[in-house]
């Protein structure tokens, strides 16, 4: 029998997210780091909460797998201990805060974005792109949010595709360098360059130094959209979670630059949340596309077939798609310059 239960799950999805966001805002998981247990009465005093909200928050977080009951108290689950304690290597709280403070309220106006086809989180008339903002805190949250997601996606990509046949990697729009760090760790002979805007490459250098890889990971300041050419001297180019931000004409231009920058036999790797060829799913890719409507002027999530067509038109050959499971991608489209 068909029931409205699936619809109820869709309608109430924000309950879980906003509970998580409120807990991160209170630094609940940071306060419970390293196995600390807190009772409801202690939470009332520590967080300045009345009895009912303290009880409901702890119960809700436990129901979501964020806390575990320990006698009369609560402690972090393994998931929260690893990813929601500030200062941990793969802290995910930046992603939570970014979505809560940057995209949650604009999503309330999704109908406006559908009618106007204009982004809701920034103004194209006064800003160059969604990656430029006068708010340094928001900008820092964005790069922190991306790093944890990218690190685990890079590990999955490194298992699914053999970078062992390459010597030098160019990470186009590489942000804080999570992909080169993880891939260079897995492939000891690999060297990499992060290409990004000047205010971003400094973060990549900091991360590479902290990882002990400053001698193998360099940076290049540039804008892959407006610069006439990409840096040469690399035999593999990575575009990870990049092309969903841009329109088809912009993506074709980027791919043409990649073709020109690669030597014969060089490879391009496009890592994304790929839509199926029928453009009916999976939900993670399709709903990321809705976020592109809210956040970009021309971005959307594309299918493997669409990337294959663009790569072929750009002159690439041996195009193939591989699948994997990761926070920021479900597969990669790979091609070679003949």
In 47-120, DSSP assigns E strands to: 67-70, 73-76
Tell me if residue 244 is catalytic: yes
pTM summary value: 0.94
Burial 167-181 (b: 16+ CB within 10 A, else e): ebbbbbbbbbbbbbb
CATH code for residues 96-336: 3.40.50.150
Structure tokens at 312: 């072929």
Whether the Cβ atoms of residue 29 and residue 84 lie closer than 8 Å to each other: yes
Q: What is the CATH number of domain 5-83?
A: 1.10.10.10
Q: Is 168 helix (H, G, I), strand (E, B) or coil?
A: strand
Q: 239 with 268: CB under 8 angstroms? A: yes
Domains 5-83 and 96-336 agree in fold: no
- Estimate the share of the chain in helix, then strand, then coil, as percent rounded to the nearest 5: 50, 15, 35
pLDDT by residue for the chain (338 residues), tens digit each?
999 999 999 999 999 999 999 999 999 999 999 999 999 999 999 999 999 999 999 999 999 999 999 999 999 999 999 999 999 989 999 999 999 999 999 999 999 999 999 999 988 888 877 666 556 777 777 777 788 899 999 999 999 999 999 999 999 999 999 999 999 999 999 999 999 999 899 999 999 999 999 999 999 999 999 999 999 999 999 999 999 999 999 999 999 999 999 999 999 999 999 999 999 999 999 999 999 999 999 999 999 999 999 999 999 999 999 999 999 999 999 999 99
Residue whose tokens read 């799950």: 9
Q: Give me the residues paired with residue 239 across strands.
A: 270
Q: How far apart are CA 243 and CA 173, in angstroms?
A: 10
List, in order, residues 6 or more apart from 214 with CB less than 8 Å away.
205, 208
Specify the residue for token string 């053999």. Answer: 162
Instruction: Give domain limits for the chain.
Output: 5-83, 96-336
Q: One of 90, 108, 189, 244 is an active-site residue; which one?
A: 244
């Amino acid at each position: 029998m068909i029931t409205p239960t699936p619809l109820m799950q869709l309608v109430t999805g924000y309950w879980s997210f906003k509970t998580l966001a409120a807990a991160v805002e209170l630094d609940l998981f940071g306060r419970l780091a390293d196995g600390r247990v807190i009772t409801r009465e202690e939470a009332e005093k520590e967080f300045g909460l009345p009895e009912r909200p303290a009880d409901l928050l702890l119960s809700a977080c436990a129901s979501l797998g964020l806390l575990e009951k320990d006698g009369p108290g609560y402690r972090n689950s393994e998931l929260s201990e690893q990813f929601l304690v500030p200062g941990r290597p793969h802290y995910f709280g930046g992603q939570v805060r970014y979505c809560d403070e940057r995209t949650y309220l604009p999503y309330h106006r999704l109908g406006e974005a559908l009618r106007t086809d204009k982004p809701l989180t920034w103004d194209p008339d006064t800003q160059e792109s969604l990656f430029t903002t006068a708010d340094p805190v928001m900008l820092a949250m964005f790069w922190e949010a991306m790093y944890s997601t990218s690190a685990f996606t890079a590990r999955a990509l490194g298992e699914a595709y053999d970078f062992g046949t390459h010597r030098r990697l160019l990470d186009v729009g590489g942000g804080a360098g999570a992909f080169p760090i993880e891939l260079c760790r897995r492939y000891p002979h690999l060297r990499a360059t992060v290409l990004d805007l000047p205010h971003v490459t400094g973060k990549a250098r900091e991360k590479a130094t902290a990882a002990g890889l400053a001698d193998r990971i360099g940076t290049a300041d540039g804008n892959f959209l407006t610069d006439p050419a990409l840096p040469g001297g690399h035999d593999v180019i990575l575009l990870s979670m990049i092309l969903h931000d841009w329109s088809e004409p912009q993506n074709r231009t980027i791919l043409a630059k990649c073709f020109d920058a690669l030597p014969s036999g060089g490879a391009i790797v496009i890592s994304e949340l790929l839509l199926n060829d029928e453009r009916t799913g999976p939900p993670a890719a399709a709903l990321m596309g809705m976020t592109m409507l809210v956040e970009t002027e021309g971005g959307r999530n594309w299918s493997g077939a669409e990337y294959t067509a663009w790569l072929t038109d750009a002159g690439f050959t041996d195009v193939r798609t591989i699948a994997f499971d990761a926070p920021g991608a479900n597969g990669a489209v790979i091609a070679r310059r003949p």
